[in-house]
Structure 1
Amino acid sequence: MSTADEYKAEGNKYFTAKDYKKAIDAFTKAIEASSTPNHVLYSNRSASYASLKDWTQALKDAEECTKIDPKWAKGYNRVAGAQFGLGNFEDAENAYKKCLELDPSNAQAKEGLKSVENATKARNSNGDDMGLGAMFNDPNLITKLKNNPKTSELMKDPDLVAKVLQIQQNPKANATQLLTDPRLMTIIATLMGIDMDFPTEDPSAAGAASASKEEPKSTDSSSSKPEPEQSQPKETSSKPTTSETQKEEPIKESKPEEDEDVEMQDAVPSDKDAADKAKAEGNALYKQRKFDEAIAQYNKAWELHKDITYLNNRAAAEYEKGDYDAAIKTCEEAVEQGRDIRADYKLIAKSFARLGSIYLKKDDLENAVKYFDKSLTEHRTPDVLSKLRSTQREIKIKEANAYVNPEKAEEARLEGKEYFTKQDWPNAVKAYGEMIKRAPDDARGYSNRAAALIKLLSFPDAVRDCDIAISKDPDFIRAYIRKANAQLLMKEYTHCMETLQEAREKDSKLGGKSIHEIDTMYNKAAMQRFQAIDGETPEQTMERVSKDPEIVKILQDPVMQGILSQARENPAALQDHMKNPEVAKKVNMLIAAGVIRTR
C-alpha cells in the first residue's frame, strides 16, 4: 500500500472514531503524499471539516474536489452541503442541480433539493408549521427511521412513509396529520429523543404514557439539515478498504449548523426549534450588519430556550455595533448562566475569549490577558493563545515605553562610568543596562555595556551589544572598535579584520580621527593570525601561511598579480595603489602574512 493510501485509511479510521481534527491531519498528509491530485481525498477532508462545522474550509475542499474532477457528481453534493451550512441556499440548490446533470439518478441530490426548498420556504414563511419544517428537513430521514429500532416496524407501511414524505414537502399543510395518526407522533417523539410508546391509538393515553418518562433531551437542531452524501454509512459501519482508489471512501458528513451548539437537556423541544429559528434569523441579520435587529432575534432565542450560544451571538452583535459595555455584560451573563446549566466548556471558553477581545478593543490590556487566560483554561485553541501572547507582548512594549526617561538615562550612564573606573564590572553592566532601558535608542548605552562585558570575558554578549549599537547609529566608530576587540580576544581574526575594515571606511568619511587606532588593531589581528606557532620554524610558518585560503585567493587574483609585479620594479607605485581601499586591505593582509616585506 502506498503512503497516500495508508494516510487515507488512517483518516477514515479517525473519522469513524469522530476524531475529526486527526482525520483532517491524516487526509492532509495523504493529499501531500499523492503523486497526482486526488479528488476523493479532498472530498473526505471536506467532510471532516464539515463535521467540525467549519463550512468555509469544507466548501474550499469541496470546490477543489470538483476542480480536479468536474465530472464526478458526488463532489457537487459536498459543495451543496457546505453551501447549505453557510446558509447559501441558492448556491446549494445550484450545486445539487449540477450533480443531477451528471447523475440524474443521484438520490442524495434529489433529497437535497427538497431540503433546500423546504429551508427556503421556512425562511420566507411567517406561518406556524408546529416546528415540523426544521424537524423533518433531513434528506436521509426515511433511511434513518427505517434503521431506528423504535420506528423500523412502522416504516414498513408504505402509507406511513408517504405521509412522512408529504410532511417533508409541506410541513405547514400536513401538520394536522399528527393529531390523527399516533404513528406519526411516535416518529416525532423519536426525532425529539423522547422514549414514547403508544399502547393504544387514544391520543390522551399516549400523552399519559409520555408524561411518565424521563425529561427529554433535545435533538441536535442540525439533524434537519441535508447531509451531502447519501451513500455514506452509519457511524457503526466497518472501515472501508483502500483498494478502491477512484471510489469515494465512506464518510459521514456533519450536519450544516452556523454555530457550534452542544446538546443539552430541554424540557420543551418545540421551544428549542423555535429558538434555533430565531438564532438563524439573527445570524442572517448579523451578516447584513443589522445589529439591533440581530440582537432582538438572539434575545428572542434566549427567552425561548436557555442555550448560551444565543448570548455569545448577542455579544458578538453588540461588539460589532460598538456597544462594548453591553457586550461585556452579556458575556458575563453567558458565563454565569453557562455554569448554572452546565453548558459545554467550549461555549464558556468562547464567552471568555470574547470578553478578552472586547477589553483589547477598549485598550484594557490587563483585563484582556485575564480573560484570554480564562478562556484557555476552559478550552485551549491556537487563536486565543495567539491573542494572549500578542497582548502580553504589547503590555511589555508599553511598559518599556513608559519607562523611557532621558534624564534618568544620563544618571545611569554616569553611574556606570563611575563603576567602570572603579573596575566594578558587574555593577557597571547593571548601570548601563538601566541606561538602555531608560534610553533604548541611545547607542552609547549598548557600546558602554559591551566594554564592561569584555572585562568580564563575556565576549559573545559584547559583540551582540555592539551590533545593536551599530544598528542604532551606523557611524558610531567606538562600537566597531569594541566589537573588533571582542572578536580579536575570541581569536576570530577574519571577522575582526572585516569589522576593522568597515570601521576604517566609515572613519575615513568622518575625518579619520580613529584611523590610527583602527590600523594598529588591524595589524595586531593580522600578526596574531599569521604568527609562528610554538615549535614552528620560519620555513614551516611560511609554508602554513602560504596555504591560507585567503592568502591563496589574493595571490591568484590577476589584478593583484599585476600590482605586485609592478611593485617589485617600482616600490613607490604600491603607495598609489594603496589609495584603493580594497587593494589596501589585500596588501595589508599580505604584509601581515609576511608575503610582502616592508624593509
Structure 2
Amino acid sequence: MADINKKKAEALKIQGNEALNQQKYQEAIEHYTAAIDLDKDNHVLYSNRSAALTHAGKYVEAIKDADKAIQLNPEWAKGYSRKGAALSKLYRFEEACEAFSDGLRVNPDNAALKEGMEDAKSHLTGPGNSQPISSPFAAPDMMAKLLANPKTREYLNQPDYCQMIEKLKENPNDLKDMVDPRIITTLGVLLGFDITTPSAFTGEDESEEMETDSPPPQTSADSKSASSPNPNSPDSSAPSSSEKVNSKALEEKEKGNAAYKKKDFEVALGHYSAAIELDPTNITFRNNRAAVYFEQENYDKCIEECEKAVEIGRENRADYTLIAKALARAGKAYLKKDDDESALRYLNKSLSEHRTPEISKLILEIDKRMKEKERLAYVNPELALEEKNKGNKYFQDGKYPEAKKHYDEAIKRNPDDAKIYSNRAACYTKLMEFNLALADCEKCIALDPKFIKGYLRKGSILLAMKEPTKASSAYQKALEIDPNSEEAQKGYRDAMMAEGNDPEAVRRRAMGDPEVQAILNDPAMRLILEQMQKDPNAFKEHLKNPDIAKKLEKLLECGIIAIR
C-alpha cells in the first residue's frame, strides 16, 4: 500500500512541476498538497510546494514548508534556498542570510544559495550591515496598527486623512503632509510610541533598568482629558471626580517609580497597588507591579500579574506595545524559572503584538538552546554503534540509500564520532553526491585530524571531482600521518599524473610555489618575459645569462611558459 501511495505521490509531483513551469501556481500547490497527503515524509514535495507558495505570494506558508523540508532532510540544500527566497520576499533579509548560510554549510558550492546570499546581503544597508529601517508607512501591518489604536482608528473615518496616508504609502519621502498633527500622531503609533506626549522622549516613566511602563493612561476619562485644555492653565471649571481619581492614581504611580529607582521594592509595590485600586483599568500600573515582582524574584506572581495586565489591556483596548511588554515580561519570568518552552510561547505572543529586535534575538537564542538540549538528549553512543553497523551491512550489500539512513541516525546519536562521517562520505561517493561526501570528510577531519581515512576519502573524492591539485594536498596530509600508507602513496601518484594531464592545474599548483612567485614578481624577469612574447628569438639570448637561464628553466619545468 505504501509503495502504491508513493507512486501516486510521484505522479502528482510531476503534475505539480508541470503546473509550476506553466506559472499555474495555485494548481501546482493543489497537486503538491495532494502528493504530501500520500507521502508525508517526502522532503522534496514540501520543497516544491514552498516554491509554488512563494510564486503565489504566500510567503509565510512557504517558509513553513521550507522548514519542514529542512527538518525531514537537513542535507537537502534546496530547503534552505526555498526558505531564504521566501524570507527575502518578506524583506527579512537578515533571516534570509542565515537561511542561505545554513544551506552553504551543507553544500558550499551551491550556486543558487550563493546567489541568494549575495542578493540578501546587498539589502543589508543599515548600520553594521544590518537590516535597514524601512518606512513605517510601507509596513505590511500598518493598517492593523492604525485600527488597533483608538486615535488613528477615528482618523480613518476622515477622507482627507486617508488620502494623506495613501500618498505617504506611495512616496514616504513626501514630507509636505508631515506638519499635520494627525500624521505626527500616526507616525508615533507606527513606531510604537506617542510623539505628542513629552514623556515619550524624556522617558520619565520608563527605563531599561526599571522595566516600568508608563505611556498615557488607557481610561476613557483620560482620553477625554487629553483633548481638554491644559490643567495647569487657569480654568474656572472644577475637575470631575474621575479626573481627581485618575490624577491620584498617576501620583501613586510616580511615587512607585521613584521607589523603584531606589530599589525600594516594597514601597514601590505599595504605591503601584494603590494606583491599581484607584484606576483598575490601566495596564501600565499592572505592568509596573509585575516589574517589581520580577526584581523580587517572585516569578509566579510576576507571571500572574502580566496575564492580568494583558486581560485588562485587551478589555480596555490598550496600546499593543503595552500588551507586548506584559507578554515579554512573563516570558522572561519563565526563563528565570528555566521553563524555556513556556518562555518561548509568551515571547512569540509578544512578538505577534509588537516586533522588537531584543525579543526577536531572545527567541532565536532560546530556540537554538532548546534544539541543542533536544540534540544532546538524543545522543547515545551505544545506539550510534548499532546504527553504524547496520549502515555498514547495507553498504557491503550495495544498498547505499539504506546505508545512508542508518549513518544519518548514527550521527544524530553520536555527532562527535569522526568514523561515522567517514563512512557516510563513502556512501555519498557511491551515490555520486560528491559535495555532500566532501563536507562529511571535512567534518571527519575537524573531529579527528589524525584519522587518516578522512584524508584518503577526501583525496579520492577530489580526484572524482577533477580537482587533482587539491587531491594531492589531501594525500600529502595522509602521508604525514602514515608515510608508509600504500593507499596514500598511490593516491598521490594518481593525483600528480592527473595534474600533469591538466596544464591549468599545473599552473595553479606552480603559482603556489614561493620560488615561482618570486621569479614572476621580479620586475626584470617580467620585462624579459614580455620581450620573449614579442620576439621568440630573445629566449636564446637570455639563456646565455646563467642566472636568467636558471629562472627560465624553473618556469618551463612548472609549465608557466612553453617554447614552440
Shorter-chain TM-score tier: 0.5 to 0.7
Q: Give me the whole-angstrom Cα distance separating, in 2, the residues matched to 1:523 and 1:300.
A: 87
What's the counterpart of residue 518 of structure 1?
Answer: 488
Instruction: Quote the offset at 1:415 in angstroms.
Output: 1.1
What's the counterpart of residue 195 of structure 2?
Answer: 51
Q: Give me the whole-angstrom Cα distance separating, in 2, the residues matched to 1:85 and 1:331.
A: 18
User: Could you say if the C-alpha distance between residues 421 and 347 of structure 1 is closer, same or farther in structure 2, counting changes exceeding 3 Å?
Assistant: same
The answer as to whether partners of 2:507 and 2:559 remain within 8 angstroms in 1 is no
Q: Give me the whole-angstrom Cα distance separating, in 1, the residues matched to 2:172 and 2:352.
A: 34
Matched, 1:448 2:415: no
Q: Give me the whole-angstrom Cα distance separating, in 1, the residues matched to 2:509 and 2:344.
A: 55
What's the counterpart of residue 248 of structure 2?
Answer: 274
Matched, 1:300 2:249: no
User: Could you say if the C-alpha distance between residues 340 and 86 of structure 1 is closer, same or farther in structure 2, counting changes exceeding 3 Å?
Assistant: closer
The Cα RMSD (Å) is: 4.1
User: Could you say if the C-alpha distance between residues 302 and 439 of structure 1 is closer, same or farther in structure 2, counting changes exceeding 3 Å?
Assistant: same
Residue type of the partner of 2:243? P
What's the counterpart of residue 444 of structure 2?
Answer: 469
What's the counterpart of residue 397 of structure 2?
Answer: 422
Matched, 1:436 2:411: yes
SS at match of 1:330: helix
Instruction: Quote the offset at 1:530 in angstroms.
Output: 2.7
The answer as to whether partners of 2:469 and 2:509 remain within 8 angstroms in 1 is no
User: Could you say if the C-alpha distance between residues 8 and 398 of structure 1 is closer, same or farther in structure 2, counting changes exceeding 3 Å?
Assistant: closer
Gaps of 5+ in 1: 1-6, 25-47, 59-81, 88-134, 136-143, 152-163, 169-177, 190-266, 533-543, 561-588
Q: How does 1:281-292 map to 2 (within 5 A)?
A: 281-292=255-266
The answer as to whether partners of 2:510 and 2:560 remain within 8 angstroms in 1 is no
User: Could you say if the C-alpha distance between residues 276 and 11 of structure 1 is closer, same or farther in structure 2, counting changes exceeding 3 Å?
Assistant: farther
What's the counterpart of residue 507 of structure 2?
Answer: 548
Question: Which stretch shows the higher mean deviation, 374-383 or 519-528?
Answer: 374-383
Residue type of the partner of 1:333? K
Task: Show CA shifts across 1:158-194 (max 9, x none).
Answer: xxxxxx99x67xxxxxxxxx9xxxx5217x67xxxxx
How many residue pairs get aligned? The number is: 338
SS at match of 2:443: helix
Q: 1:185 aligns with which of 237, 260, 273?
A: 237
Residue type of the partner of 2:247? D
The answer as to whether partners of 2:510 and 2:558 remain within 8 angstroms in 1 is no
Instruction: Quote the offset at 1:337 in angstroms.
Output: 2.4
Task: Show CA shifts across 1:433-458 (max 9, x none).
Answer: 11111111111121111111111111
Residue type of the partner of 1:474? P
Q: How does 1:24-423 map to 2 (within 5 A)?
A: 51=195, 82=202, 184-185=236-237, 268-305=242-279, 306-423=281-398
Task: Show CA shifts across 1:529-567 (max 9, x none).
Answer: 3327xxxxxxxxxxx57983433675746799xxxxxxx
- TM-score between both structures, scaled by the size of structure 2: 0.52
The answer as to whether partners of 2:188 and 2:194 remain within 8 angstroms in 1 is no
User: Could you say if the C-alpha distance between residues 369 and 54 of structure 1 is closer, same or farther in structure 2, counting changes exceeding 3 Å?
Assistant: farther
Q: Which has the higher contact order (CA 8 A, sep 6+)?
A: 1
Instruction: Quote the offset at 1:383 in angstroms.
Output: 2.3
User: Could you say if the C-alpha distance between residues 486 and 428 of structure 1 is closer, same or farther in structure 2, counting changes exceeding 3 Å?
Assistant: same
What's the counterpart of residue 244 of structure 1?
Answer: none
SS at match of 2:449: coil
What's the counterpart of residue 160 of structure 2?
Answer: none
Task: Show CA shifts across 1:43-91 (max 9, x none).
Answer: xxxxx988398989x6xxxxxxxxxxxxxxxxxxxxxxx386779xxxx
Highest Rg: 1 or 2?
1
SS at match of 2:498: helix
Q: 2:433 aligns with which of 441, 454, 458?
A: 458
Q: Give me the whole-angstrom Cα distance separating, in 2, the residues matched to 1:429 and 1:381.
A: 42
Q: 1:487 aligns with which of 450, 457, 462?
A: 462
SS at match of 1:51: coil
Instruction: Quote the offset at 1:497 in angstroms.
Output: 2.1
What's the counterpart of residue 73 of structure 2?
Answer: none
The answer as to whether partners of 1:10 and 1:23 remain within 8 angstroms in 2 is no
Matched, 1:500 2:475: yes
- TM-score between both structures, scaled by the size of structure 1: 0.49
The answer as to whether partners of 1:420 and 1:428 remain within 8 angstroms in 2 is yes
Instruction: Quote the offset at 1:20 in angstroms.
Output: 4.3
